[in-house]
Amino acid sequence: MRITPVIFFAMFVLPVQAHASSAGQDSRGSAIPASVNLELAVRGYIKPRCELRLDSNQIHAVLTDGNGSASVDLKVNCNQRLSVSMQSRNGGLMHEKHGIWDTSTGFTGFVPYQLTFDVKARGTSPIVVESKQIQAVPGGGSIGAIPYRADGKLSLNWKPEGNLFGGRYGDVIEIRVSGEGETGRP
């Protein structure tokens, strides 16, 4: 928060009013009006600030043939309406041999998921995106409220589309939060 401008106004205005209230002549003999009206256009500036803190920067999950989910808790603190942008490096959970191993027998090494950014604060709406849709370009939106020191959760939900290759899968999710600005636009 910037308070410097307010202090500056106080120091500047007071001397002007004291000087202006004295009627008489100046050193050149010009008449000095008895009073002067000062109109001050006062503006201040609070720097937009948004903080995002994840409880962990890693999510580990065990995949089965059925539906699954994983999540990480988070905290946000923002002095503007919060806008969220998320991007997936792989577009889903990708097996390290995806694209190499034979998939003709009905196996897959790719598990797309639904990504939900949810903040527990009044007036907020969860941001829900599909991992496939946020690979090439980020996706997201506004949660619709100003989350002041609010808790939240980032959740992944998936439903495998076929038998899964055994082994390790991975993805990297980038989350960018920002204030929407004065115009309300993210």
Q: Which residue lies nearer to another protein by CB, 12 or 136?
A: 12
- Kindly tell me which residue out of 28, 29, 102, 122 binds another protein, with binding defined by CB under 8 A: 102
Q: Is 57 in the site for another protein (CB under 8 A)?
A: yes
Pick the closer one to another protein by CB: 4 or 27. 4
State the number of CA atoms in the 13 A half-sphere of 59 facing the CB.
22
Would you count residue 12 as binding another protein (CB under 8 A)? yes
Q: Which stretch binds another protein (CB under 8 A): 21-29, 63-71, 116-124, 145-153?
A: 63-71
166 binds another protein (CB under 8 A): yes
> Long-range CB contacts (< 8 A, 24+ apart) of 60-64?
61/93, 61/156, 63/93, 63/111, 63/158, 63/160, 63/164, 63/169, 64/160
Task: Identify any residues that bridge with 164 across adjacent strands, giving them in sequence order.
Answer: 108
Q: Is 120 in the site for another protein (CB under 8 A)?
A: no
Q: Which of 34, 51, 136, 148 binds another protein (CB under 8 A)?
A: 51
Which DSSP category does 23 fall into? -
Q: Which of 71, 80, 26 is nearest to 48 (CA)?
A: 80
Q: For residue 145, state whether it binds another protein (rule: CB under 8 A).
A: no
The SS3 of residue 77 is strand
Residue in 31, 40, 66, 122 binding another protein, rule: CB under 8 A: 40
Quote the DSSP letter at residue 131: G
Q: Is 122 in the site for another protein (CB under 8 A)?
A: no
Q: SS3 for 4?
A: helix
Q: How many whole angstroms separate alpha carbon 94 and alpha carbon 154?
A: 19
How many whole angstroms from its chain centre is CA 56? 17
Binding site for another protein (CB under 8 A): 2, 4-5, 8-9, 12, 33, 36-45, 47-54, 56-64, 70, 72, 78, 80, 93, 95-97, 101-102, 104-107, 111, 154, 156, 163-179, 181-182
